[in-house]
Amino acid sequence: MSNETYSSSTRIFKDLLDEIGKVVVGQHEAVEQMMIAILCNSHALVESNPGLAKTLTISTISKALDLKFNRIQCTPDLMPSDITGTYIIEDIGGKKQYRFEPGPVFANIVLADEINRASPKTQSAMLEAMQEKQVTVGNKTYLLDKPFFILATQNPIEMEGTYPLPEAQLDRFLLKILMDYPTFEDENEIVNRYTKNITPSVRSVVSKAEVLELQRLTRDVPIAEDIKIRAIKIVEATRAKNENIEYGASPRASIGIILAAKARALMKGRNYVSKEDIDAMAYPVLRHRVILTFESERKGMTTDQVIADILKNVK
């Protein structure tokens, strides 16, 4: 299986991206990063303005991967049991008994839309599921299906009535993906596709078993020592004295960069991690882990600019 999956991995990724491209116009980097998060068996946080096809993108990916997809619209009154599931009383043959009704978190790909609108208690329940890949209701623990991937979204505007995720919880997301407005050509294509009677559809190109195999292969991608050291130095540089950074990234970020770089290398059809992979993945891995100082925020600096500076200076 490994041999077959590996030898056909280049074709798999090409087919997958082509298939997703039938529905999602542009957003290549965001799609690639979502795929990377899935390959790393981790989770991603997406930040974008409304209407940029976050839900469409992730649902399309789940269809192309032949995975079960659930969507949770987070609101302040959303309860933890609304996510994890709860026991219900069921009448079977005149005998009443409790039965566990799994919540939407029991899926392979879960879209937690506007996670910052959920209460901290609900956020915690979801983040626990993310970390442990299991849910405990009452005295019983239920394992979540594999692969398990949560894509949480945040809206950068309309911050009123939201509960911003604490830094410690943000750290659990491998990547923070930014989705930007499409180019004129892409928007023209979007209009052409979605103003006709025929809605673009997607077919499954990868099986669940293949996804799991690809996740395993990701960790097998070798990395050279000096490239590994570069990744660690980049993360270390965020903790070093830097006038723009209030708090730097944790060692989890070092693991994240290397793992994401391995997944990127596999997606690009390479059997080794390149320096280019490390530099490319430093942005989505670090941008939610680095907290800028008030002064740099006042100057209008972004975390991506600070990361770019770090990448330039790390040898």
Partner 1 sequence: MEDFLDKLQKTRAGFFSRKRLVFFLDLIAIFSILYAIFTIVNLDYLLSKSSIPSSIPINIIPPAIAIIIALITSTLLHKKDKKTNVIRLIENKYPELKERLSTAYDNRDESNIIVDSLKTFVSESMTSVSPSMLLSKGKIISKIMITIIFLAGMAYISLNPQGIQIPQNTLDNMTKTFTGEEQNNTGLTDLTGIPVNVDNSGAKGSGDIFGKPKIASIEGKNIDLTLYTGDNTGTTISDYNPTNNQFIKSAAFPVDVIGSNVSDGGYSMLMAKSETEKQLINQYAVERSKI
Q: Which residues bind partner 1 (CB under 8 A)?
A: 2-3, 6, 217, 220-227, 266, 271-275
Nearer to partner 1, 40 or 64 (CB): 40
Give the Å distances, CA to CA, from 119 to 64, 78, 254, 288.
32, 7, 30, 20
SS3 113: strand
Q: Minimum Å distance from CB 280 to partner 1?
A: 14
Nearer to partner 1, 181 or 272 (CB): 272
Give the Å distances, CA to CA, from 103 to 37, 144, 219.
23, 11, 31
Nearer to partner 1, 274 or 305 (CB): 274
Q: Which residue has the tokens 């050279």?
A: 224
Bond prior to 147 in cis (omega within 30° of 0): yes
Q: Minimum Å distance from CB 282 to partner 1?
A: 17
Angle (nearest 5°) at CA 135 between 129 and 137: 140
Nearer to partner 1, 156 or 222 (CB): 222
CB 208 within 8 A of CB 108: yes
Q: Minimum Å distance from CB 25 to partner 1?
A: 33
Q: Minimum Å distance from CB 267 to partner 1?
A: 13
Nearer to partner 1, 141 or 271 (CB): 271
Task: Please state, in angstroms and rounded to a whole number, the distance separating the CA atoms of residues 260 and 267.
Answer: 10
Q: Which residue has the tokens 């500076």?
A: 309
Q: Minimum Å distance from CB 279 to partner 1?
A: 13
